[in-house]
Amino acid sequence: MQLPKKLSDKLESRLQNNALRQLPISKGLIDFASNDYLGLSQSDTIFHKTHQFLIDNNEIHNGATGSRLLSGNHKVYQQAEDYIAQFHKSESALIFNSGYDANVGFFSSLPQKGDLILYDELCHASIRDGIQLSHAKAYKFDHNDFEDLERLILRNPNTTIYIVTESVFSMDGDAPNLEELVQISNKYDCLLIVDEAHALGVFGEKGEGLVQMLHLQDAVFARIMTFGKGLGCHGAAVLGSPELKDYLVNFARSFIYTTGLSPHSVATILMAYQFLENNQENINNLRENIIQFNQQKILLGLKPLFVHSKSAIQSAIIPGNEKVKSIAKQFQEKGFNIKAILSPTVPEGQERLRFCLHSFNSKEEISEVLSLLGTFVF
């Protein structure tokens, strides 16, 4: 059966603009594309410890059987949520099936009619989708522009205001000035929410995230920690007060009306957190590679191409879908998996090559990939 014409026309438009998304095929290339920053998805240690934990706790044969409010709330959930809360110096933690589910559940249920959501214009699609489902009004502020944010706050007095940002932005790899943002939030009695998806495992002595590294956790209303990046596993958690956790359990539809993660998935989260707590080698290697990448792009004269970033995400702006796809293909032919980020995922004219750095990338690989970039671009 054919698609309705409106839908097939939209696909054709993507094709004509050289922006049609297709599922990639793994080719065994050198990884500069995945969000597995610490390589934990490949960890034999975490795999075997997870299996042993399930045996020791009599959970080895249990599977996900329903919503956590019905039959899916396995005992390992409580152990994992308690550990996550302690690790992040939070009063409580609530696990969701994914970062998308956490953001949609949070933003669709917390802000109420008459409230106001002010979000950074580059916030992730999952945040935007959650906001669209909310009954609150919402306005975006210019990226990391707190004068623009204050202007919007002052236009809306006597209102419950939620300020939303990310500690590391997924397409640019840059970070807001969180200390200044906390000051603004406190000044106007706003509720600050920070998505830490791309900071977990990257910032902080043990990979706790940027908020905690800056000792700002007590000034933030809620943090969303996503595990599919630095932790290399499925799921996410909302960190906040016990009352916030109770509210989400009662009103977040993406939590209530979905099958809970299996004990194996939750145990993997717990083992990954324990790995962070007790092993700093991967984090140190990643930080050294970020420094190496930033130094090399300066030495090779490539710095003007890149968005300023001290994170594991390094983006070189190369306008035009066709051009950036062509360069990404050249990288793949040389054995490197580098992803082209096309419009409309990013604004037209802001197309880019997105380099994701990992603890397991070698210094030689970093030097070679940047040398190749210079030959491909200039």
Residue 308: the pLDDT is 95
Q: Are 191 and 160 in contact (CB under 8 A)?
A: yes
Strands 339-341 and 116-120: unpaired
Mean pLDDT calculated for residue range 363-377: 97
Residue 64: the pLDDT is 64
CATH 3.40.640.10 residue spans of the chain? 48-278
pLDDT for 26 beyond 90: no
**pTM, entire model:** 0.94
| 301 Cβ contact partners less than 8 Å away, ≥ 6 residues apart | 374
Torsion sign (Cα): 366, 371, 374, 377: negative
Mean pLDDT calculated for residue range 83-112: 98
pLDDT tens-digit profile of 255-270?
A: 999 999 999 999 999 9
Mean pLDDT calculated for residue range 44-55: 94
Residue 363: the pLDDT is 96
Token pair listed for 368: 């070679």
> Residue type for 133, please?
L
Torsion sign (Cα): 321, 326, 332, 336: negative
pLDDT tens-digit profile of 211-270?
A: 999 999 999 999 999 999 999 999 999 999 999 999 999 999 999 999 999 999 999 999
pLDDT tens-digit profile of 329-353?
A: 999 999 999 999 999 999 999 999 9
Mean pLDDT calculated for residue range 11-36: 89
Per CATH, the number for 280-377 is: 3.90.1150.10
Residue 28: the pLDDT is 87
- The mean of the pLDDT values for the chain is 95
pLDDT band at 44 (very low <50, low <70, confident <90, very high): very high
Measured CA to CA in angstroms, residue 277 lies from 27, 102, 206, 233, 273 at distances of: 33, 24, 6, 16, 6
Residue 117: the pLDDT is 98
The residues with which 164 forms a beta bridge, in sequence order, are 119, 193
Question: Per-residue b/e over 23-45, b at no fewer than 16 CB within 10 Å?
Answer: eeeeeeebbbbebbbbbbbebee
Residue 72: the pLDDT is 85
Question: Per-residue b/e over 264-294, b at no fewer than 16 CB within 10 Å?
Answer: bbbbbbbbbbebbeebeebbebbbebbebbb
Q: What is the CATH class of 48-278? A: alpha beta
Residue 65: the pLDDT is 73
Residue 47: the pLDDT is 95
Residue 58: the pLDDT is 84
The candidate with the shortest Cα–Cα distance to 225, out of 92, 133, 356, is: 92
Residue 63: the pLDDT is 67
Residue 60: the pLDDT is 75
CATH 3.90.1150.10 residue spans of the chain? 280-377
Before 304, cis peptide (omega within 30)? no
Mean pLDDT calculated for residue range 294-321: 97
pLDDT band at 25 (very low <50, low <70, confident <90, very high): confident
